[in-house]
Structure 1
Amino acid sequence: MLAYYKEKSYDKVNESFVKMKDKNVPQDLTSYCIALSALRDAGDLQRVLELHKSMQEQGVVLDRKAYSIVFDSMGKAGKVMEAAALFLQMQQQGLKPDNVAYNSLLHAFSRSKMYGQAESLFQDAIAQGIALDPVIFFTMIKMYADAKMPKQAHEVLLKLKDRRVKAPEYAYQTVINAYARANCFEEAEHVFNDMRSSGCKIREVTYASMIKVYAGLKNEIAAVKIFEEMVGNGYTRSVVAYCSMIDLYSKMGHIEKSVKVFDDMKRSGCHLNTWVYNIMIEMFGRLGRLDDALNCLEEMITKRVFPDTVTYSTLIKAAISLRYYDKGIQLYECLKSLGLELDTVFVAVMINACIKSKKYTVLESLVLDAQKAGVTMDHRMYMSILKAFSDAGLLEKVKWFKSVIQEPPDQILDCSDS
């Protein structure tokens, strides 16, 4: 059984286990643990629970390893309170939970967003002298980071350091990202400096995160310094890092620098994705350089990088601002032909384009397309369409529009091209 398990031949593990049972071969706890592990790793959580029940009925006494496997499976199956009860049962049997047991139950609480219970269990692990393993701390850090609670994630990281246990790189990285996502850029910078002073190796993902942080702080000098350090250390293919630098230069008005970084990105062999092209298209569109923006779209298609709704929405908005209404309508038809989904922002942009260009037939088609896509219009969008049909003397279209779209509450979404 063990050989099959090491080969990840989980079906064969369970076949062997069943054959042993059918032939009345005594099954010890080791055999049960291998069978439990195979079922869990194969994702067959229900059978883990069934086997655990069978073990109870046969009076098989579980050890720490068996308990941990069942905790983990119960948590993944959403049976968190059952896992907690089993944890208590383990303690009542005189088995002191180890790091694996605590971490399994912490994961279960974390997956179910039971933050209070996870924190209590974590404190219990510390009180029992268990929580010396960075893995347990990281489970808590990741839980708080995923819950968008960066301060709490940082506090757990500091607790790990207070216990004179060296925090791993991924723990720092997770806290930095949590602060960055919350736009707490100064706090993210503080954690990064702490990470550097601790002697942790800085890798590509952390460099990329810090470039985003310095972009958020609009600290061009620091961002460039980190970017150059990253490239100097051989990390030359980070999409996030390149995109963040391009976006930073774009927002600070350094257009030629943005273009240079974009060209460097292409030469480096870094994977070009929709995100970076959308940044370039937005920059050119904002500057009124529609031809350059359209060239980016053409290059995307040539390189088999697929445009999304944001790509076309940005291009259409740029075309409208330059009064190239026909081009905006043409781009809308391209979006439809590609089967891309409409969203509220895109529909708002197109309403503005159709009204300004007096393309009422296209506007009527847009209403139906939006309705089919499940896009809900707000009051501003609704009244803009109603007024456009009315001002054009298209009373039949006014009547039709009222019949297909119910007037929404008066909550405004800006449909202007500003």
Structure 2
Amino acid sequence: MQRVARWTIAAVAALVAATGTAAAQVTELRVGYQPSPIQDASIAMFETWGAKNAVKIVKVPNSYGVYVEKMTASLTSNSDQYDVIWHNDDWGQTWAHLLEPTDDIDANKYAEKWGMAPVVFANAQGQNTVVPMGQTFSVFFYRTDLVKPEEVPKTLDELVSVSKRLQAEGKVKFGYVGGMAMNHSWFSWLWSMWANNCDVLMPAYERDNKKLAEAGWKSGLSEPCMQQNVEYWWDAINVHKIVPRGMPAYDRNEANAVFMAGDAAFTVADTLWWGTFNDPAKSKIAGKVGAARFPLGPNRTRPFAWDDIWGWAIPKSISPERKKLAKQMLEAMMLDEEGQIKLFKATGAPPPNTTFWPKIAAQDPFMKLLKESVLDSPDKVRGAYYFPQWPAVHKAFNDTVTKAVTGKREDIAKVLADGAPLVSKAAQQQQ
């Protein structure tokens, strides 16, 4: 027994001598994420790298509804529970000071500059804190078996008229379906608002926090364009009946299910659902889906798109050895052309390395459309605000418009006016 003990001690000593510390022998990396097509495809590249480098990738799924709260608790407690976590522009500034800078990951130079702008993910020292997993934005999906490309609605009014025609012909139950609940506002409230030159805070489309502060963190809820937006959806639900009556409570999954069941002609969804919409095992409308630019409201004539990235981040609290290995993994992911092409084919989300985009677009009409209508467009909007209190502002906004659209039409203006100070107050709490 003593001989075995001496041999074990000697082996450990040799290991420490070779590596500097026994802790340097990192054999697994834990990834905190929310299961979705794009994250699953990105993690598949991690697993390919791990298999080649004798590193086990441990996947730790979290539900979307509690993801931010759980991960914030982990980060603020200096936990070492995760080595890599899903990072999103929605909470980029909330976590920036808790994350490891990633400027030393050389392959980040191939990321899209718009999505990686300092206003989104930089910490107080101006250091980047993210590595992109892919571009995420929505487009206007339509049923190609019901409308020709030239018949796709170009305005919000046309969305009503075309939807009503298709319903009258008995081709669909609903014209449009999209998420409306909190954290799913992009698929109804936000896109239609931006399509009408409106925004959560004023001036519209501004994301410079200094300029927003100079404007007094002014809420857009009391603007005429916002009243138009809420009245539009109130009429869509109660007068024209082109959308499900329960849509104010829908999340993206419920809306996508209605669309994939063939019950709606149009939806707005992230492009990463392109693969699922066209999967015969999951969708009744597979092969019958097209994509177009958003219909515009009366206050806007130029097309628009929003464009953001989903990414990966490394908690600052983990050991240097694990940080180093995590960065090696993320570097490899950014350079994995085969894996990124698979990600696009599986999801419809443009991959993180922009040098691969022209190659994909030359072979894929959907990617060509995305480049023309979104990625290369000069008329882009950022899909969130970039200060720590954005989630509170978002909730105050969504609570107000939900109350307005589910109440009486004649009360809409008052409900919006009452909610406007709540949005401004939520924004000012960061000061």
When Rg is computed on C-alpha atoms for both structures, the one with the higher figure is 1
More strand by share: 2
Larger relative contact order (CA 8 Å, sep ≥ 6): 2
The normalised TM-score by structure 1 is: 0.24
More helix by share: 1
